[in-house]
Amino acid sequence: EAQVTQNPRYLITVTGKKLTVTCSQNMNHEYMSWYRQDPGLGLRQIYYSMNVEVTDKGDVPEGYKVSRKEKRNFPLILESPSPNQTSLYFCASSLFAAGGQETQYFGPGTRLLVL
């Protein structure tokens, strides 16, 4: 089944404790992206990747890191989480980085609480 998976689905952590949220897709998609969803703010892009070893900042990249060592995986790293990073996070992928097949397939989401 074609899908985007994220782990963990729920996470409670404390300020400053490094964490990683994994994202994996099995559709051989070039383009992958991370969003955060906050009430009243919609979906905001954190980082995106056009292909292996090619990443760039979205609209709200502060406090986050990403890497793309393999085409299927795009982990989101919070080196020192803070309470303002409490949010619902979505990973998404689409076929081509240059467009033409822009449909984004979203994962199920990771709900993060930073105390």
Partner 1 sequence: GENVEQHPSTLSVQEGDSAVIKCTYSDSASNYFPWYKQELGKGPQLIIDIRSNVGEKKDQRIAVTLNKTAKHFSLHITETQPEDSAVYFCAAKGFKGAGSYQLTFGKGTKLSVIP
Q: Residue 47: enclosing H or E segment and its boundaries?
A: strand 42-51
Q: Decide: is 104 part of the binding site for partner 1 (CB under 8 A).
A: yes
Which residues inside 20-79 make contact with partner 1, applying CB under 8 A? 31, 35, 40-45, 48, 50, 56, 58-59
Amino acid at 104: Q
**How many residues in the shown chain lie near partner 1 by CB under 8 A?**
26
Nearer to partner 1, 69 or 99 (CB): 99
Tokens of 42: 């919609």
We find the least distance from the C-beta atom of residue 109 to partner 1, in angstroms, to be 6
Dihedral of CA atoms 61, 27, 113, 79 in degrees, nearest 10, equals -50
Cα distance between residue 49 and residue 27, in whole Å: 15
Nearer to partner 1, 38 or 70 (CB): 38
Nearer to partner 1, 8 or 14 (CB): 8
